[in-house]
Amino acid sequence: MVLETLVPPESARRRPWAIIGLSFLFASLGVLTTLYLSQGSDSMGLLLIALVALPSAPWILRLFEHQTSGLESKKLYGSATLARHWPVIVIMAMYFLGLLAGFVFWYLYLPGDQVLKLFSVQVSELKAISGGFSASAYAVKYTMSQAFEVIFLHNLEVLGMVLVFSILYGAGAVFVLIWNASVISVFLGDLARRYVLQQPGEYALLTALGTGFLGLLPHGTFELLSYTTGALAGGILSASFARKAYQLESFPLIVHDIAKLTAWAVVFLALGAAIESQAFA
C-alpha cells in the first residue's frame, strides 16, 4: 500500500514525530471515507475503526517484523530489554497520539449532526462508563484499595485483549488502540465544545483541551505505555512465529523479552490504576 510507505518502519526510529502526522492522516482518511460511504447512516463508529485500521495494520505488522530482525545488546537505564524495544514503544505512543489529534480535530470541525452519527458508538460507550461509575458512586463509597481493584481488573481485561489480538492477528491490537483513541477523543472533543459554549473567548478551546489532557495525563500515560508495551509483546511473538524465528539461536532471547515486556505492561497498568483510584476513593 502507498500510505504505509510514507514513513517506513525502518526509518521510523529516526523520525518518531513523523508518526504523529502519519496516524493523523490515517484517522482523517478514515473519517472522510466513512462519511462518504455511510451517508444517511446513524451508526458509523465501527466502520470508522475498521477504515482507520485498514492502512494501520500493515504498517504496524511491518514494524513488528522489523523489530524481530535484529536484537542489540546495549542497555538503557540498566535494561537490555528496554534498550532493544523502547524505540518501538515510543513509535506506538506517537501513533496513538496522532490518532487522538486526528479524531479530536474532526470532532470539533464537523457539524454536530455528522459528529453524532460518526462517533455514535463511542458516545454510547462514554455514557455507559459515566453511568456505571456514577451509579457505583451513589451505591457505595469506594476505599482506595477497592477502587484500585475495580479499575485495575477492568484495564487488565483490555490489556488481555491487546495481547490476544496481537498474538492471533499480528497487528490485531491496532483495533483496540484505535478504539481507545476514538473514545478518548470524543471525551476531549466534547469537553472542548462545552468549554467553548460556556466560556466563549480567545483561549477557550485551548483551556478545554488542556483541562481534558491534564485530567487524563497522570494515569493515562501509564495506561498508554501498558497497552503499547502489551501490543509490542504480542506482535513480536506473532511475527517471530510467522518468520519461523523459533529456529534461530536468538529465539530464547525473544521469548525472554516478550515475558519481560508483558510484565512491564502489567506494572504500568497497576501504576495507572493506583493514580486513577485516588479520584474515586
Please tell me the distance from the alpha carbon of residue 124 to that of residue 49, in angstroms, as a whole number. Answer: 15
Please state the rounded mean pLDDT for residues 45-52. 88
Q: Is the pTM of this model over 0.95?
A: no
Task: Give tens-digit pLDDT for 132-167.
Answer: 544 454 445 567 777 788 888 888 988 888 888 888
Q: How confident is the model at residue 42 (pLDDT cuts 50, 70, 90)?
A: low
Q: How confident is the model at residue 190 (pLDDT cuts 50, 70, 90)?
A: confident
- Which stretch of 170-174, 264-268, 274-278 has the lowest confidence by average pLDDT? 170-174
Strand partners, 79: 76
Residue located via cell numbers 504523529? 20
Q: Based on the structure, what is the number of domains in the chain?
A: 1
Specify the higher pLDDT residue, 242 or 33: 33
Domain span at residue 138 reads 3-277
Please tell me the distance from the alpha carbon of residue 34 to that of residue 50, in angstroms, as a whole number. Answer: 10
pLDDT of residue 102: 95
Strand partners, 76: 79
